[in-house]
Amino acid sequence: METENAQETKTTLVLGGTGKTGRRVAKRLEARGIPVRVGSRSGEPPFDWEDRTTWAPALHEVGSVYISYYPDLAVPGSVEAVHSFAELAVEAGVRRLVLLSGGASPRPSARSWLCKRR
């Protein structure tokens, strides 16, 4: 069984890591000595919500993910995309998923559905 310390030394994928909140999350994790992979179209490997073939490479050897969906969770298809990504992440061995969502989102039931544990 994996220990808590072993989980913390695995890479954290920060989706939207070049954006306003993602950049801050990445900097704080790096300041704590946690390895970070920035998930963006210009990242290495690249990550693009619109190109599902980029998802698995971005998840390689990742232990946790900070999820920021662009442009917003209120966009049609966003819930399904995030759900599919979360399933793939769990299959890849990711143990922690954190979803950025706005409190004033017009789809609060969607946020609840995304956060349900299997």
Structural domain includes residue 69: yes
Structural domain includes residue 33: yes
- pTM, to two decimals: 0.82
Q: Note the pLDDT of residue 13.
A: 98
Average pLDDT over residues 60-79: 94
Structural domain includes residue 87: yes
Taking CA atoms, 109 is separated from 54, 56, 59, 60, 73, in Å, by: 28, 27, 27, 30, 11
Structural domain includes residue 116: no
pLDDT tens sequence across 70-114: 988 889 999 999 999 999 999 999 999 999 987 555 555 555 555
Residue 77 is part of which domain span?
A: 4-104
* 108-97-78-14 Cα dihedral, nearest 10 degrees: 120
Structural domain includes residue 114: no
Q: Note the pLDDT of residue 101.
A: 83
pLDDT tens sequence across 34-46: 999 999 999 999 9
| DSSP codes, 25-78 | HHHHHHHTT--EEEESTTSSS---TT-GGGHHHHHTTEEEEEE--SS-TTSTTH
Structural domain includes residue 110: no
pLDDT band at 5 (very low <50, low <70, confident <90, very high): low
CATH number for the domain spanning 76: value is 3.40.50.720
Q: Note the pLDDT of residue 117.
A: 46
